[in-house]
A and B are shown apart, each in its own frame.
Chain A
């Protein structure tokens, strides 16, 4: 009896100790109204220099600290940011920006045309090896006309210039900080955004605080902590346990449960990711357009949306790209599920039952990628193909896919989702459909070549007239849907979830969450 009593007392005191440790932390945070946001993300930032950044988690962190000439609003419309207005002249080869006055960098320096020029010159200097090089290949030189007027002279017209400027890499660092930190500017972000950098403990947290001298509306929250939580189940648990204020992305299978939680809200948006299989047109089987169309008829995209994404996706039946890409047009209603028609087309094309197809899939890169791969393989087997799936880890996958074919790429179908930071059809379509963009140059991994598409994309690039550009991309999208170089699948939604009282927090099509304008309801 005594022993038993002692043991339970010991258990109780251990539980009590642990409880008090945790409660102590909780009450410190809970004693006053919440003023900071802890955002659980998928991965840690890689870099804090926008011009050297290629990943979404880094861009998400940078977007609260940095600004460019142009930005995106919540509806993904282009809006003036550090430029108040701009005018094109010389047929689009010269663009003059009037800059916003009274803008300060986090180190107190003033933002003006000279500061902007320092940044542009840095981005364009080949010796710096930044990721802005080909994005701004069209820029010849940049001049500060006067203190608040910046002039870009282009080598050739670039219709996507504004989108590229808003494309998350062209954001300004303080020239003083650039000079002071040199190559280490990556660890000392000094922008003009509403939040300034506090500390970065890699893989643990990255903290920013409200920038009091911000030119625009002051944020309601005083602090954002970005916390990398790679395991999706743990990310969701963190939110449910109240350890995080917001979490994104949320796995499909947890969405319904979180919707039922009265303390939480679920938010979602159509992503820019257009999940598809490129059909390798170097292979005899896919040289025939009838076979490519047959493959599209053979797969029930509606069912994939319903059963694999729980309804949280849209089928790509109207265009090869997501509705959020600038230049998107619904060009028709293509390839409704029709296995009988698929078989008929295959017979016409003389494809024998049992024809082997090698299917490449990156395992765990895209939302539900493996499940979609299995489903598609099943549908293709139904119409008589012998499908062999090959799954690869992402680094291997993208490495092999981006290789120069020798002489023919080894896959018949390869899964990809092409999402571009510029959110513009120029690279959004060009990167995967221009005949000049076969690997290793870019990711036209279907080895598609259409003069009509090449011409349309060139036309879209060579004008700054939005209506003319839209028309050019509409022509390209229709031609692509007709030619079917891809097995078009879905654009899935990005899902985030947050405490109910967190207002004005949202997720964006490019991936990631935006909390800079958020506030807590009383």
Chain B
């Protein structure tokens, strides 16, 4: 296991370097001048030149890259071109917000999805099964920005139960977490159901039932453990999608997270913020996938690293 972790962490270095180069180059190849965007359309050429000089954008690209790489290695991510704050100060509070949101929505989605999937598999072809699968289908296929607006209208405007957006406390997390988790929930429910149905047809389940084990115990002890493996894989993969999905959901709910930050930073060509945030998100995705691999080992004793 230590070897696995060590190898994965070593692998992070080329991955992060590749991402760094890709983001650095992409941001500079696309048209758009951060100086112009910061200074405003009505700024004069003297201002533009001054802003470029201030940001070091007047220097040749290789020099800018070398400088940036050196800074990153020392743990310096530079300052936002837009707000002039250190990039880490921009990212840190929002990364925390997004992680809370992503964790809550993943927990909610996989918990509820598991329950729904198990129930559907246990009562296959019953109205419960069909209802669950229809809801799962809706969850998978509704675009999150649309679902988000509908939830705001129903729960904030009409019922007045939950805040319409922003951050601060658990109540503010509910609607974004549900919106963000909807597609994962649907996916997990369908995966669990399929996987459970397959396992429930296995010999050892028939044996368990034949020797008189009560049905709830058959499902919980004998079937679920074996049906869990593909579900873990899905949840881990979904975490990346949840981070990506937060881009839309955070905008709809004006939730101050990293998705909104990245979108706005791209729109402003705020190079240091985009670079720093993408690096961190990449790091996280790799990390979560490593965690999933370790979980496989726990769920399936046959897997050893």
Contact = CB atoms under 8 A, between A and B. Distances in A.
A129 interface: yes
Given A134-B47, A229-B165, A399-B31, A54 B39 contact: yes
A25 interface: yes
A78 interface: no
Interface in B104-140: none
A230 B33 contact: no
B251 A131 contact: no
Contacts, number: 175
B50 A130 contact: yes
Interface string B26-51: 00001111001111111111110011
30 contacts: A19-B161, A53-B40, A54-B40, A54-B43, A128-B50, A129-B51, A130-B47, A130-B50, A131-B39, A131-B51, A133-B44, A134-B43, A202-B90, A202-B256, A203-B94, A230-B254, A231-B252, A231-B254, A237-B152, A238-B164, A238-B254, A243-B156, A243-B165, A393-B267, A395-B30, A395-B266, A395-B267, A398-B41, A400-B31, A421-B42
Contact of B44 (A134, A238, A243): A134
B83 interface: yes
Interface stretch (B70-78, B168-176, B216-224, B287-295): B168-176
A203 B261 contact: yes
A237 B149 contact: yes
A234 B152 contact: yes
Interface stretch (A145-153, A436-444, A450-458): A436-444
A431 B256 CA distance: 36
B126 to A, nearest CB: 15
A183 B83 CA distance: 12
Q: For B41, B47, B54, B171, which residue has the most chain A Cβ atoms within 10 angstroms? A: B41
A263 to B, nearest CB: 12
B222 to A, nearest CB: 23
A202 B280 CA distance: 19
B162 interface: yes
A398 B44 contact: no
A395 B268 contact: yes
Interface string A14-33: 01001101100100000000
B165 A228 contact: no
User: Can you list the 9 inter-chain pairs with the closest CB atoms, starting with the nearest?
Assistant: A54-B40, A134-B44, A129-B50, A395-B32, A203-B256, A399-B32, A21-B171, A241-B156, A229-B254
A54 B170 contact: no
B164 A133 contact: no
Nearest to A229: B254
Interface in A392-432: 393-396, 398-400, 402, 418-421, 427, 431
Contacts of B30: 395-396
B84 interface: yes
B164 A230 contact: no
Interface in A170-185: 183-184
A242 B33 contact: no
A311 to B, nearest CB: 26
Given A130-B47, A243-B156, A400-B31, 15 more contacts: A22-B171, A25-B171, A54-B40, A134-B44, A186-B84, A203-B261, A203-B264, A230-B260, A237-B149, A237-B153, A237-B157, A238-B254, A394-B267, A395-B37, A398-B33
Q: For A131, A228, A396, A427, which residue has the most chain B Cβ atoms within 10 angstroms? A: A131
A204 B32 contact: no
Interface string A114-131: 000000000000101111
B85 A22 contact: no
Interface of B: 30-33, 36-47, 50-51, 53-54, 82-85, 90, 93-94, 145, 148-149, 152-153, 156-157, 160-167, 169-171, 174, 251-254, 256, 260-261, 264, 266-269
B93 A201 contact: yes
A395 B269 contact: yes
Contacts of B171: 18, 21-22, 25
Contacts of B145: 231
Contact of A22 (B161, B261, B268): B161
A52 B55 CA distance: 13
B42 A427 contact: yes
Contacts of A133: 44, 46-47, 50
Contacts of A12: none
Interface in A217-253: 227-231, 233-234, 237-238, 240-243
Nearest to B84: A186
Q: For B148, B160, B253, which residue has the most chain A Cβ atoms within 10 angstroms? A: B160
Contacts of B254: 203, 227-231, 234, 238
A73 to B, nearest CB: 22
Contacts of B165: 229, 234, 237-238, 243
B157 A402 contact: no
A237 B149 CA distance: 9
Contacts of B33: 398-399, 402
A205 B45 CA distance: 33
A431 B53 contact: no
A393 B267 CA distance: 8
A412 B72 CA distance: 44
A80 B254 CA distance: 38
B301 to A, nearest CB: 34
B40 A137 contact: no
A204 B174 contact: no
A234 B267 contact: no
Contact of B36 (A203, A242, A398): A398
